[in-house]
Amino acid sequence: MSSEDLFPTRMEQDRKPFPRLDPVIHARNQDRWNGPLGEESLSRYERDGFLWFEGFFSQERMRPFFDELNEMAKDTELVKSDQVITDPDSGDLRSVFDMHRISKRFDALTRDPRILGMVRQLLGGDVYIHQSRINDKFGFQGSGFQWHSDFETWHSEDGMPRMRAVSASIMLTDNNEFNGPLMLIPGSHHYFVPCHGKTPEDNWKDSLKSQRVGVPSQENLRTMVNQGGIQAPKGPPGSLLLFECNTLHASNKNLSPWPRANLFFVYNSVDNGLEKPYGGTDARPGFLANRDDTAALSMYDNLEPL
pLDDT single digits (tens) 228-284: 999 999 999 999 999 999 999 999 999 999 989 999 999 999 999 999 999 988 999
Question: Do residues 264 and 182 make contact, with C-beta atoms less than 8 angstroms apart?
Answer: no
Which one-letter DSSP state was computed for residue 106?
H
Confidence of residue 304 (pLDDT cuts 50, 70, 90): very low
Q: Does residue 225 surpass a pLDDT of 90?
A: yes
55-91 as b/e, with b when 16 or more CB fall inside 10 Å?
ebbebebbeebbebbeebbeeeeebeeebbbebeeee
Which one-letter DSSP state was computed for residue 255?
-
Domain ranges of the chain: 18-269
Residue type, 151: F
Among residues 269, 232, 279, the alpha carbon closest in space to that of 252 is found at: 232
Q: Where are the alpha helices (DSSP H) in the chain?
A: 39-48, 59-73, 76-80, 99-102, 104-110, 113-123, 150-153, 204-207, 218-228
Question: Do residues 129 and 266 make contact, with C-beta atoms less than 8 angstroms apart?
Answer: yes
For 62-111, how does the pLDDT look when each residue is reduced to its tens digit (9 = 90+)? 888 878 877 877 888 877 888 888 776 666 777 889 999 988 999 999 99
| Domain 18-269 fold | Jelly Rolls (2.60.120)
Write down how long the chain is. 306
Residue type, 42: L
Q: Is the dihedral of CA 105, 58, 168, 282 positive or negative?
A: negative
Confidence of residue 303 (pLDDT cuts 50, 70, 90): very low
Q: What is the pTM of this model?
A: 0.92
**At a CB cut-off of 8 Å and minimum separation 6, what does 129 contact?**
100, 110, 265, 266, 267, 268, 290, 293, 297
Q: Does residue 142 surpass a pLDDT of 80?
A: no
**At a CB cut-off of 8 Å and minimum separation 6, what does 91 contact?**
none
